[in-house]
């Protein structure tokens, strides 16, 4: 029987999904496939082994263990970043599978994303993820399947250029100027070159075809439920289903009904938010041992903020996710990370105020560590 593990963030992201994915993948790496079922190249999941600490964006968090990553049709790809990260990780022989309908991001998507973010201040990463999905919803496509053909890549880029040339006319002059500034040094020949060069890292494949080659499937989530396109708080949301919705659909469609499903809900022991948007008005926290924090203030996302956990938000997130698997038998687990950063945190107190019954509670004693300790039943 196939085993499916779904890793979901209960908050606004940055809780430790990469750490959790890496830990789960370590059990049976040769039988494991990591699946990206939401988000895309804007992800930043930090994993550490004996010789390297790396923040994964274009490869799954099992890569350091030799585990391949599958990108579903719900995700985005950015060839220049894949090439750069793949070359950096070359000694680990990084391997990707792309669903032919995975969406490809271009420099035009990134430039428009950054230009409008300067006006809207919604807290975007500025990497073109949302604009790529929005463009595809307008029937201006660029798929992983197209990456095999140079002439098709050129045609796609031309169509996308025309699309944004019309779209930008509806924006203020300041936005138009920023868009042009972002494209000033754009080298389209190099972009096309990267589209072809990444062929050494990937193979086009459907998940149904891969199902017989693996027994463990780890669905590595993106961002957090409170940023979900349906359940987050507009306008500070992502263009993606960050609940288990897509993962459950993929399991039903490609892996069948006879599977074992375990969901791993991840939260730090305190609330975080990277980027603009609301947070719960809980008390402030003073953190220790957080000198290796990988989330820092940047031009587009803005400040990385922390506060005490809000039990109501956690219960809300759990209730949203339950919608997508209420008819299925699942094992639910809670992962609490960064416990060493907030010594006064009480997991017992938290459990008493969360409405879902968990089989296991875990705590990570460092955001960079692979050590995960069982702390309660």
Helix (H) or strand (E) run with residue 363 in it: strand 360-364
Helix (H) or strand (E) run with residue 375 in it: strand 372-376
pLDDT for position 349: 73
Rounded to an integer, what distance in angstroms lies between the CA atom of residue 119 and that of residue 231?
A: 24
Rounded to an integer, what distance in angstroms lies between the CA atom of residue 162 and that of residue 139?
A: 13
Largest CA distance in the chain: 60
pLDDT for position 274: 73
pLDDT for position 91: 93
Rounded to an integer, what distance in angstroms lies between the CA atom of residue 25 and that of residue 39?
A: 20
Rounded to an integer, what distance in angstroms lies between the CA atom of residue 84 and that of residue 199?
A: 13
pLDDT for position 372: 40
pTM: 0.89
First to last CA, the chain: 25
Q: How many residues does the chain have?
A: 377
pLDDT for position 4: 96
Residue 132: exposed, middle, or buried by beta-carbon count in 10 A (0-12, 13-18, 19+)? buried
Q: Which of the residues in the chain have pLDDT under 70?
A: 118-126, 291-302, 355-377
DSSP 114: H
Token readout for 206 is 């459907």
193 touches 157 (CB < 8 A): no
pLDDT for position 367: 36
């Amino acid at each position: 029987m196939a085993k499916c593990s779904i890793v979901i963030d209960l908050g606004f992201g940055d809780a430790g999904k990469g750490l959790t994915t890496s830990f789960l993948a370590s059990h049976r790496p040769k039988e494991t496939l990591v699946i990206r079922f939401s988000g895309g190249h804007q992800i930043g999941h930090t994993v550490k082994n004996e010789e390297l600490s790396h923040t994964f964006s274009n490869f799954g968090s099992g890569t350091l263990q030799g585990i391949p990553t599958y990108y579903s049709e719900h995700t985005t790809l950015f060839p220049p970043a894949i090439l750069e990260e793949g070359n950096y990780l070359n000694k680990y022989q990084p391997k990707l599978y792309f669903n032919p309908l995975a969406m490809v991001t271009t420099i035009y998507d990134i430039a428009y994303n950054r230009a409008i973010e300067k006006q809207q201040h919604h807290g975007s990463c500025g990497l073109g993820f949302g604009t790529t999905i929005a463009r595809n919803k307008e029937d201006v496509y660029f798929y992983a399947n197209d990456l095999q053909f140079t002439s098709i890549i050129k045609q796609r880029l031309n169509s996308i250029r025309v699309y944004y040339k019309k779209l930008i006319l509806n924006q203020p002059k300041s936005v138009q100027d920023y868009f042009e500034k972002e494209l000033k040094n754009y080298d389209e020949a190099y972009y096309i070159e990267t589209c072809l060069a990444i062929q050494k890292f990937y193979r086009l494949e459907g998940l149904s075809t891969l199902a017989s080659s693996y027994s463990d499937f780890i669905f590595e989530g993106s961002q957090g439920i409170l940023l979900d396109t349906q359940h987050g708080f507009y306008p500070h949301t992502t263009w993606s289903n960050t609940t288990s919705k897509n993962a459950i659909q993929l399991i039903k469609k490609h892996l069948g009904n006879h599977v074992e499903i375990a969901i791993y809900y991840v939260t730090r022991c305190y609330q975080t938010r990277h980027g603009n948007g609301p947070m719960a008005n809980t008390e402030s926290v003073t953190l220790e041992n957080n000198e290796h924090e990988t989330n820092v203030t940047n031009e587009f996302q803005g400040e990385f903020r922390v506060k005490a956990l809000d039990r109501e938000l956690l219960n809300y997130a759990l209730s949203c996710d339950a919608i997508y698997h209420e008819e299925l038998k699942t094992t639910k687990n809670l992962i609490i990370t960064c416990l060493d950063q907030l010594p006064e945190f009480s997991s017992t107190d938290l459990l008493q105020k969360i409405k879902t019954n968990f089989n296991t509670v875990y705590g990570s004693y460092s955001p960079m560590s692979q050590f995960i300790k069982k702390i309660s039943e």
